[in-house]
Structure 1
Amino acid sequence: MASEAADPPIARKLSFSVVTFSPLQKDESELPAAAAACPPARLKVQVRVRNLPDGEEASEMVLSESSVTMRKVNKTMQGGDSVEETSYSFDRVYPGDTTQAQVYEGAMKPQVHSFLSGQDTLTFGYGTTNAGKTYTIQGSETQRGMLPRALDAIFVALAAHRMRREGEGDEAAAAAAEAAGLPALDDSCTYALRATFLEVYGNDAYDLFAPSTIKDAHGATKRVGLRVKENSGSVFVEGLREVELPDRETALSAIQMGWLQRSQGSNGFNDVSSRSHAVICLTLLATRPGADAPTATRPGADAPTATRPGADAPTATRLCLVDLAGAESNKKKEATDKRLVEAKSINQDLMTLGACLRDLRWNQTHPKAQPKVPPFRDSRITMLFRDYLSGNGQISVIAAVSPRQTDTHGTLETLRFASTASSVKILEKPKPAAPTKQAPLPRVAALGTTLGAAAGAISKIKGEIAAPKLENGAPKPTPVQESISSISSTEEVPLDDAAQSDTAYVLAQQLAQLQQQFVAAQTDRVALEMKIREELHAEMKSHLERQEAAQRARQEAERYDTQVASASKLALVRGATNQRVDTASVQAHTEVLQQTRELKRREAEYAEQLKKMSTQLEKAKAELDATKAELAAISEQSRAELDATKAELKMTLNTARDELEGGGAQDGARGAQDSVEEAAHTGEREREQEE
Structure 2
Amino acid sequence: MLRPTKGRTPRRPAPKKPYNNQKDPVGVYCRARPLSCDDEECCIEVISNTTIQLHAPDGLKANRNGEYKETQYSFKKVFGIKTTQMELFGDVAKPLVDDVMHGKNGLLFTYGVTGSGKTYTMTGFPGQGGLLPRCLDMIFNSIGPYQAKRFVFKPDDKNGMEVQNQVDALLERQKRDSQQNVPKTPSSRQRVDPEFADMIRPEEACRAEGVDEDSSYSVFVSYIEIYNNYIYDLLEEAPVDPLKAKWNSGGTPLRSNTEFIPPQSKILREDQNHNMYVAGCTEVEVKSTDEAFDVFWKGQKKRRIANTQLNRESSRSHSVFIIKLAQAPLDADGDNVLQDKNQVSVSQLCLVDLAGSERTSRTRAEGSRLREAGNINQSLMTLRTCMEVLRENQMCGTNKMVPYRDSKVTHFFKNYFDGEGKVRMIVCVNPKADDYEETLLVMRFAEMTQEVEIARPVDRPICGFAAGRRQRNQAFQDELSRRLEERGGPADKEITAGLSQMLQSFPPLPPCQINDPTDDQTLPRLIEALERRYKMRQSMVEEYNKT
TM-score range normalised by the length of the shorter chain: 0.5 to 0.7
- Structure 1 residue 277: deviation in Å? 0.7
- 2:378, 2:49 → 1: CA distance? 32
The aligned counterpart of 1:19 is none
Structure with the bigger percentage of helix:
1
Q: 2:262 aligns with which of 216, 222, 225?
A: 222
Structure 2 counterparts to residues 237-636 of structure 1, below 5 A: 237-290=278-331, 310=340, 312-367=342-397, 369=398, 371-428=399-456
Deviations 1:493-543 (CA, angstroms, capped at 9, x unpaired): xxxxxxxxxxxxxxxxxxxxxxxxxxxxxxxxxxxxxxxxxxxxxxxxxxx
- Structure 1 residue 96: deviation in Å? 1.4
**2:26 is aligned with 1:43:** yes
Structure 2 counterparts to residues 66-105 of structure 1, below 5 A: 66-72=50-56, 81=66, 84-105=69-90
Say whether the 8 Å CA contact 2:420–2:457 is kept in structure 1.
yes
CA, structure 1 residues 422+275, in 2 after alignment: closer, same or farther (shift >3 Å)?
Answer: same
Say whether the 8 Å CA contact 1:151–1:248 is kept in structure 2.
yes
The aligned counterpart of 1:106 is 91
Letter aligned with residue 111 of structure 1: L
Deviations 1:554-605 (CA, angstroms, capped at 9, x unpaired): xxxxxxxxxxxxxxxxxxxxxxxxxxxxxxxxxxxxxxxxxxxxxxxxxxxx
Letter aligned with residue 255 of structure 1: F
Letter aligned with residue 133 of structure 1: K
- What is the DSSP-based 3-state SS (H/G/I as helix, E as strand, rest coil) of the residue aligned with 1:193? strand
- 2:448, 2:93 → 1: CA distance? 21
Say whether the 8 Å CA contact 1:193–1:284 is kept in structure 2.
yes
The aligned counterpart of 1:674 is none
- 1:140, 1:76 → 2: CA distance? 40
CA, structure 1 residues 27+323, in 2 after alignment: closer, same or farther (shift >3 Å)?
Answer: closer
Letter aligned with residue 276 of structure 2: V
- 1:192, 1:430 → 2: CA distance? 23
- 2:354, 2:102 → 1: CA distance? 26
> Identity of aligned pairs, percent?
32
The aligned counterpart of 2:506 is none
Deviations 1:141-165 (CA, angstroms, capped at 9, x unpaired): 12110111111111110125469xx
Larger relative contact order (Cα-Cα within 8 Å, sequence gap ≥ 6): 2
- 1:323, 1:94 → 2: CA distance? 18
- Structure 1 residue 312: deviation in Å? 4.6
The aligned counterpart of 1:649 is none
Say whether the 8 Å CA contact 2:229–2:379 is kept in structure 1.
no
- 1:69, 1:45 → 2: CA distance? 16
Higher CA-based Rg: 1
Say whether the 8 Å CA contact 1:39–1:394 is kept in structure 2.
no
The aligned counterpart of 2:135 is 150
Letter aligned with residue 116 of structure 1: M
- Structure 1 residue 417: deviation in Å? 1.4
Give TM-score scaled by structure 2 length.
0.62
Say whether the 8 Å CA contact 2:234–2:303 is kept in structure 1.
yes
- 1:246, 1:146 → 2: CA distance? 19
- What is the DSSP-based 3-state SS (H/G/I as helix, E as strand, rest coil) of the residue aligned with 2:220? strand
- 2:94, 2:458 → 1: CA distance? 28
Letter aligned with residue 418 of structure 1: A
- 1:95, 1:309 → 2: CA distance? 50
- What is the DSSP-based 3-state SS (H/G/I as helix, E as strand, rest coil) of the residue aligned with 2:387? helix
Q: 1:118 aligns with which of 95, 103, 106?
A: 103
Letter aligned with residue 253 of structure 1: D
- What is the DSSP-based 3-state SS (H/G/I as helix, E as strand, rest coil) of the residue aligned with 1:223? coil
- What is the DSSP-based 3-state SS (H/G/I as helix, E as strand, rest coil) of the residue aligned with 2:414? helix
- 1:47, 1:135 → 2: CA distance? 14
Letter aligned with residue 286 of structure 2: L
- Structure 1 residue 24: deviation in Å? 12
Give TM-score scaled by structure 1 length.
0.50
- What is the DSSP-based 3-state SS (H/G/I as helix, E as strand, rest coil) of the residue aligned with 1:278? strand
CA, structure 1 residues 246+362, in 2 after alignment: closer, same or farther (shift >3 Å)?
Answer: same
- Structure 1 residue 252: deviation in Å? 1.5
The aligned counterpart of 1:141 is 126
Say whether the 8 Å CA contact 2:219–2:323 is kept in structure 1.
yes
Deviations 1:434-486 (CA, angstroms, capped at 9, x unpaired): xxxxxxxxxxxxxxxxxxxxxxxxxxxxxxxxxxxxxxxxxxxxxxxxxxxxx
Deviations 1:413-437 (CA, angstroms, capped at 9, x unpaired): 1111111111110024899xxxxxx
The aligned counterpart of 1:496 is none
- What is the DSSP-based 3-state SS (H/G/I as helix, E as strand, rest coil) of the residue aligned with 1:124? strand
- 2:449, 2:242 → 1: CA distance? 42
Say whether the 8 Å CA contact 1:49–1:403 is kept in structure 2.
yes
- Structure 1 residue 117: deviation in Å? 2.0
- 1:310, 1:80 → 2: CA distance? 70
- 2:341, 2:296 → 1: CA distance? 35
Structure 2 counterparts to residues 14-29 of structure 1, below 5 A: none
| Structure 1: segments with no counterpart, 5+ residues | 1-22, 29-35, 164-177, 292-307, 432-691
Say whether the 8 Å CA contact 1:157–1:184 is kept in structure 2.
no
Say whether the 8 Å CA contact 2:42–2:433 is kept in structure 1.
yes
Letter aligned with residue 331 of structure 1: S
Q: 1:185 aligns with which of 211, 214, 220?
A: 211
- What is the DSSP-based 3-state SS (H/G/I as helix, E as strand, rest coil) of the residue aligned with 2:142? helix
CA, structure 1 residues 128+351, in 2 after alignment: closer, same or farther (shift >3 Å)?
Answer: same
CA, structure 1 residues 75+95, in 2 after alignment: closer, same or farther (shift >3 Å)?
Answer: closer
Say whether the 8 Å CA contact 1:285–1:315 is kept in structure 2.
yes
- What is the DSSP-based 3-state SS (H/G/I as helix, E as strand, rest coil) of the residue aligned with 2:24? coil
Letter aligned with residue 245 of structure 1: V
CA, structure 1 residues 96+154, in 2 after alignment: closer, same or farther (shift >3 Å)?
Answer: same
- Structure 1 residue 281: deviation in Å? 0.8
- 2:456, 2:231 → 1: CA distance? 29
**2:162 is aligned with 1:132:** no
| Structure 2: segments with no counterpart, 5+ residues | 1-13, 149-203, 245-258, 333-337, 460-547
